[in-house]
Structure 1
Amino acid sequence: MSAPAWALGTFADAAGPFPAVVVDGTAYDLRRIGGPELTVDALLADWEAGEARVAAAVAELTSSAAGAGAAESAVALGAGAPLAALRPLPPHAPAQILCAGANYHRHVQQIVVSTLRNAGDTRPEAELRREADAQAKARASADGPFFFTGLPSALSGAHDDVPLWGPGREHDWELELAVVIGKRAHLVDPADAMDHVAGYTMSNDISLRDVMRRPGFPMTDFLLSKNRPGFFPTGPLLVPRRFVADHRELRLELRVNGETMQDERVSDIIHDIPALISAASHATALSPGDLILTGSPAGNAGHHGNRWLRPGDVMEASITGLGRQRNRCVAPPQG
């Protein structure tokens, strides 16, 4: 995938946060064309009109710069600011976050093997892998995807620190492609699902593995294990769907302290994006701006010898064309 002609985001400078269109590494304040109350969420609320408005402003910017030189281009978007001088915030404020779990073939296989090993299973590796393959195939033939809900309050920016909240100690990473809904979707057929997509961003679903299942309580705790403040670094960019020719070819990469932990293409997904949108729309009504996290690929901490995150670790993540994240892990605040 080539670099998108433009993308959206929300950034902060010394004066505070502002909605921006990003062109060639420069962020242009969209309030110059939409007024002081404009947000990315407002553009998503009427995405067809909002996308057209931004595209027209970018066309004016690029044609003016090409004809007169950037220094002389008196366009509505103004001069802009380099991304390196800004703090990226989550691109927008979704009302709902739906997260698909166990949705990559190799990820499921690795989870099964590491879970069995951690539980003391001493069978040969080949036997464990056969069981893992069977469970991955069972996930693929299941009635539909598994979802859990995320909390918008857990979102953080692409360069923000990630506090490693307790009560557990086994903090894990999960880089995910996230779909941004651009049109209300309810009871949508998979064949029509992509018509409801505004674009894509990325999120790192930080998870506490040892808190996920409470001892003596036969249910999963996704509040304490996945939805603590700062546990969803998201962004920096929201790339319109028009610039992603084939989302299945996007490559997800995550490193911890420079060591590659995840490196996979979306094509390894079990339930694809149209299936996810359709299933989610049959469970609830989706509105513009809602996020659907599509699952994390192989390479979580359990696969890397239970190498859990520690204060001081630096996670660097990228998805083709969607920008880069760099998040430092820190001890949680006291008190």
Structure 2
Amino acid sequence: MKLVRLGDPGRERPAVIDDRGVTRDLSSLTSDIDGTFLAADGIARTRRALAEGALPVLETDGLRFGPPVARPGAVVCIGQNYAAHAAESGSEPPTRPVIFFKPPNTVVGPHDEVEIPRGSARTDWEVELAVVIGRTARYLDSPEQALDHVAGYAVSNDVSERDFQLEHSGGQWSKGKSCATFNPLGPFLVPADEVPDVQDLRLRSFVNGEPRQDSRTADMIFSVAQIVYDLSQYLVLDPGDVINTGTPEGVALSGRFPYLEPGDVMEIEIEGLGRQRQTLGTA
């Protein structure tokens, strides 16, 4: 099954796409797909309701896909988590996870317009595996515990403005990561136990139909389990929080491709988790 939120921004309704591809209304179980729902065993309750035939069919014609999790308390990002991407950025692979934050208000739907910010010269794309937390993670004892705290996975585009990130930063990256619309998420939240091997998923990105990134999560320097464990030593991960786990090589920062311009179309996908499509506009 796949959890989705459908409707206009701020008015999305919770739904689930069952194993036959039928979309069903979740409003009888929850007012939204958020941290409260996930922490209250929402995924298991959804499965039970599906098995009992208790969820009505939802007519989806014309409904927008919103981000599949509402109002994340934090969007925590891992930098340079693929060795080839670190190399194309001119950096040595990190020996410990590098983190930065994006404001939660950067999160938009998977097909919403992405705005090139005012003064931008180097807006870039980044396909990433997103981890959505389902149970509070604080001072975990080992990476083996970590995956028990993951609700599911989604596709994320960690859109970046490289001048803001590198030249205007003052030593940190968040200026280049925090512009409005800079984190399309979704279309689906796929439960963690329905992803056979999160460390062997294909990630791809395209600009105007031309291929850019093509890699697998097997190339991560730090695995999902290691990331969640490591973060739990320094901060509290709450249900509904989102972790962007890094991007593979093939971004414009490499010098191999032009940066984005108004009217360009980004498409990104991860095996089993869905595909996004965004047109670039201006702020």
TM-score by length of 2: 0.93
| Alignment check: 8 A CA contact 2:4 2:14 kept | yes
1:58 match: 50
1:302 matched to 2:253: yes
| Alignment check: 8 A CA contact 1:167 1:211 kept | no
2:151 match: 198
Q: Deviations over 1:228-276 (max 9, x none)?
A: 1101001110000110111111111110010010111000000111111
1:94 match: 72
1:44 matched to 2:22: no
1:107 matched to 2:99: no
State how far apart, in whole Å, the 1-side matches of 2:88 and 2:110 are: 27
Of residues 296, 315, 330, the one that matches 2:266 is 315
State the secondary structure of the residue aligned to 2:15: strand
State how far apart, in whole Å, the 1-side matches of 2:6 and 2:255 are: 34
State the secondary structure of the residue aligned to 2:89: helix
Shift, 1:168, TM fit: 2.4
Whose helix fraction is larger, Structure 1's or Structure 2's?
1
State how far apart, in whole Å, the 2-side matches of 1:195 and 1:210 are: 38
| Alignment check: 8 A CA contact 1:19 1:40 kept | no
| Alignment check: 8 A CA contact 1:214 1:221 kept | no
Cα distance change of structure 1 residues 227 and 14 upon mapping to structure 2, 3 Å threshold: closer
Of residues 235, 241, 244, the one that matches 1:284 is 235
Shift, 1:310, TM fit: 0.4
State the secondary structure of the residue aligned to 2:7: strand
The total of aligned residue pairs comes to 280
Shift, 1:22, TM fit: 1.3
State how far apart, in whole Å, the 1-side matches of 2:143 and 2:174 are: 28
1:211 matched to 2:164: yes
1:71 match: none
List runs of 5+ in structure 2 lacking aligned partners.
none
1:157 match: 109
Cα distance change of structure 1 residues 242 and 221 upon mapping to structure 2, 3 Å threshold: closer
Shift, 1:221, TM fit: 4.4
State how far apart, in whole Å, the 1-side matches of 2:260 and 2:119 are: 14
1:146 matched to 2:141: no
Deviates more, 1:285-294 or 1:295-304: 295-304
| Alignment check: 8 A CA contact 2:25 2:57 kept | no
Runs of 4+ in 1 over 6 A off after TM superposition: none
1:27 matched to 2:23: yes
1:236 matched to 2:236: no
Shift, 1:17, TM fit: 1.6
Q: Deviations over 1:104-143 (max 9, x none)?
A: 011112222xxxxxxxxxxxxxxxxxxx7xx23xx2xx1x
TM-score by length of 1: 0.79
List runs of 5+ in structure 1 lacking aligned partners.
1-5, 62-75, 113-131
Cα distance change of structure 1 residues 170 and 237 upon mapping to structure 2, 3 Å threshold: same
Shift, 1:219, TM fit: 1.5
Shift, 1:50, TM fit: 1.5
Cα distance change of structure 1 residues 26 and 305 upon mapping to structure 2, 3 Å threshold: same
| Alignment check: 8 A CA contact 2:190 2:273 kept | yes
Deviates more, 1:13-22 or 1:178-187: 13-22
| Alignment check: 8 A CA contact 2:207 2:267 kept | yes
Shift, 1:89, TM fit: 0.6
Q: Deviations over 1:288-316 (max 9, x none)?
A: 11111100011101335341000000111
| % identical aligned pairs | 38
Cα distance change of structure 1 residues 14 and 270 upon mapping to structure 2, 3 Å threshold: closer
Cα distance change of structure 1 residues 221 and 103 upon mapping to structure 2, 3 Å threshold: closer
1:18 match: 13
State how far apart, in whole Å, the 1-side matches of 2:62 and 2:193 are: 28
Shift, 1:80, TM fit: 2.1
- Larger-gyration structure (1/2): 1
| Alignment check: 8 A CA contact 1:100 1:146 kept | yes
1:271 match: 222
